[in-house]
Chain A
Amino acid sequence: MATVKLSFSPAPVHVRTARLVGVAVARRAGVREDLLDEVRLAIGEACTRAVALHRQYHVPDPVLVEMDDTGSYTVRVIDRAPIEASIGLTALNADQLANESLDEDDLTTGVGFALLAGFVEDLQVRPVPEGVGTEVRMVWPTGR
């Protein structure tokens, strides 16, 4: 059972709010202080990705963020975009990043995924159990 749920219209301006709430709940849950920058970045990346997908597919539904601090700190960011959209999640190497033909959106997607994978040890990206969409699930240990 999530202790805090946040749903927001898929607009870039709200991603900061999601980061702030996510870090506040993490701190309250007892996530180590030195991990909070990574929590902030990872929640931001997951929400940015969800907002981008909603805009790309013209999905007006809200993006959902669920934060659960029972045991460890689990954050689920749920989008409602077609599942095939998530398949393009691959990290890029330095040559690909510098390649002139790679457009900025693709580069941002690749870099965003590299950050998620690099900062979250326990990361899962999977289809939502019901309906259309993808869930990015991130877990951090708590000190309690």
Chain B
Amino acid sequence: MELSLATRTVGEHTVLEVGGEVDVYTAPRLRERLLELIDGGARHVVVDLGRVDFLDSTGLGVLVGALKRLRTVGGTFALVCDKEPLLKIFRITALDQVFPLHATVDAAVAAGPAA
């Protein structure tokens, strides 16, 4: 399935809903959108992976890139993911210790910009 990207604002947070497959071919589009958001002033970004059905190392690299970029400008970055196959990917790569992971967008937003 093709990559889909949709942005909405929830309070101080910019929520990027991602769907479909994030891989070596589609990850550059995700990177571009995240950079647009951050360069456009978004400081508290939540990426909702709820409709992602495939995520590989390239996609993970893009997400870490966004996290680091936001840190350097004093922002925050969190992920929403409750699918076991994706959570397993985060555990195996130790990235579950790098990203704040939440089960829902509400939980990510409630954790606040201080997350």
Interface residues of A (CB under 8 A from B): 12-13, 15-16, 19, 37, 40-41, 44-45, 48, 51-52, 91-94, 97-98, 100, 104-105, 107-109, 111-112, 114-115, 118-119
Contact = CB atoms under 8 A, between A and B. Distances in A.
Nearest to B94: A94
Contacts of A15: 23-25
A125 B1 CA distance: 30
A48 B85 contact: no
The B contact surface, by secondary structure, is helix
A129 B94 CA distance: 34
Contact of B60 (A16, A51, A94, A108): A108
Interface residues of B, number: 25
Contacts, number: 82
Interface of B: 21, 23-25, 54, 56-58, 60-62, 64-65, 67-68, 71-72, 85, 89, 92-95, 97-98
B21 A107 contact: no
Given A93-B94, A97-B64, 7 more contacts: A15-B23, A37-B85, A48-B56, A94-B95, A104-B65, A107-B60, A115-B57
Contacts of B92: 114-115, 118-119
Nearest to A40: B54
Given A41-B89, A97-B64, A12 B94 contact: no
Contacts of B24: 12, 15, 44, 48, 51-52
Given A12-B25, A16-B25, A119-B92, A98 B58 contact: no
Residue among A13, A44, A51, A119 with most chain B CB within 10 A: A44
Contact of B56 (A13, A41, A97, A118): A41
